[in-house]
Structure 1
């Protein structure tokens, strides 16, 4: 591998940095986007049960917000309701949406960086190959003929950059699509949970 990197020349180093960055971001998202950290099972039902018993205390709301991203969204709506149990639906919905936007921002973090690496890696690989081809043909002295074996070897070395660029881009693209699907699922779950809690809070406020 070291000999391949040395043969490919300096253009392969940006690709190596991209591969390290992509690996770090993918591992971070794998850890962060765990279900227990974003939307634990049964949390919505627990919150609905607590809300039926009356306005939750500040300590309960803080624990709920620290529990997970879904908990922070539900806590945002409960805070607005606790400050005014007869608040109109538009006020409560705005509180849920504000908390939801903050949660969505946390879920989307680093996904654009992974997508950028997936898009840029093939171009960097192509750039390295083009630079290698220019050097190969530029080194052929005019009038002395061309050594086909040496030329073929030089072209194969130049193509290392393209191959490495694809090796970085394909896993990065697959990871981005996977994480985007998980984020969309989480956002849908949060929206459904917020709607359930909103309906219950409105019923309790209208009693």
Structure 2
């Protein structure tokens, strides 16, 4: 029996496993591409923003971050904190926390689906195994002396489905672990920005006085004379 004959004898569950494997590969490719874009190193931008904050204040640092247009979650958290810096450190921390939660949602999207595929695939393979063994026992019930060729159909269906389910499960499980580790590293960088930025704002200089603004005029001196006229 050739490999093509084995695939044909595997039954309809094999096509379900093949479709699941195609979806798993597609999801892995999409998430890997997204994490490669989001995982660009933001340390240079962070150091530059810290220096500008210490020298010119949060507004100048925000302009620097906006010009960089960095796609990483660390840059998003940095941008959110600097944008609310004029309302105080507490407001900046709340804005950064919201930005961090949004970034984590984008980082870990699709990983739970890969975990589900890793759990479902071997169950589908086990179901195919049971169906194949049932077909083999049906041969015994229909024939007193079944030939190896008659038994091979059910046995091949059982083994092929088992192998296919394990392959899909291993692929999904390994990819999920690798992508999650990559997402954790990116999220850690964003978390570091969230923890460091409040300290920058405390040490940031006060808002500068605009050039050209007229100084306040001194109050005129008023001489009070309490003596009566003579």
Provide the TM-score with structure 1 as the length reference: 0.85
Q: Give 1:36 deviation, angstroms.
A: 6.2
Q: Which runs of 5 or more structure 1 residues have no equivalent in the other structure?
A: none
Aligned partner of 1:16 in structure 2 is: 18
1:139 corresponds to: 139
Structure 1 runs of 4+ aligned residues shifted over 6 Å read: none
Question: For the residues of structure 2 that align with 1:191 and 1:58, how far apart are their CA atoms?
Answer: 18
* C-alpha separation in 2, matches of 1:38 and 1:5: 43
Gaps of 5+ in 2: 208-230
- Aligned match of 2:116: 116
Alpha-carbon contact 1:111-1:176 (below 8 Å) kept? yes
Q: Report the counterpart of residue 5 of structure 1 in structure 2.
A: 7
Partner in structure 1 of residue 72 of structure 2 = 68
Residue aligning to 1:78:
82
Matching residue of 1:187: 187
What's the counterpart of residue 203 of structure 2?
A: 203
Q: Over the residues paired in the alignment, what is the CA RMSD in angstroms?
A: 2.5
1:126 CA drift (Å): 0.7
Structure (1/2) with the larger helix percentage? 1
TM-score (norm 2): 0.77
CA distance in 1, matches of 2:198, 2:62: 19
**Structure 1 pair 63–7 and aligned structure 2 pair: CA distance change class (3 A):** farther
CA contact (8 A) 2:9 2:157 kept: yes
Is the CA contact (8 Å cut-off) linking 1:39 and 1:71 kept in structure 2? no
**Cα 1:118–1:205 shift into 2, 3 Å:** farther
* C-alpha separation in 1, matches of 2:68 and 2:198: 16
Alignment of 1:102 onto 2:102: yes
The 5 Å alignment of 1:11-50 reads 11-34=13-36, 37-50=39-52
Aligned residue for 1:67, secondary structure, equals: coil
Pair 1:40–1:2, CA change in 2 (3 A): farther
Alpha-carbon distance in structure 2 between the residues aligned to 1:154 and 1:138 = 9
Q: Cα–Cα, structure 1 residues 77 and 64, in superposed 2: closer, same or farther, change >3 Å?
A: farther
Structure showing greater Rg: 2
Distance 1:51 1:4 in 2: 67
Q: Deviations over 1:153-197 (max 9, x none)?
A: 531332100101111111210111111111112211111122222
Pairing 1:145-164 to 2, within 5 Å after superposition: 145-148=145-148, 150-152=150-152, 154-164=154-164
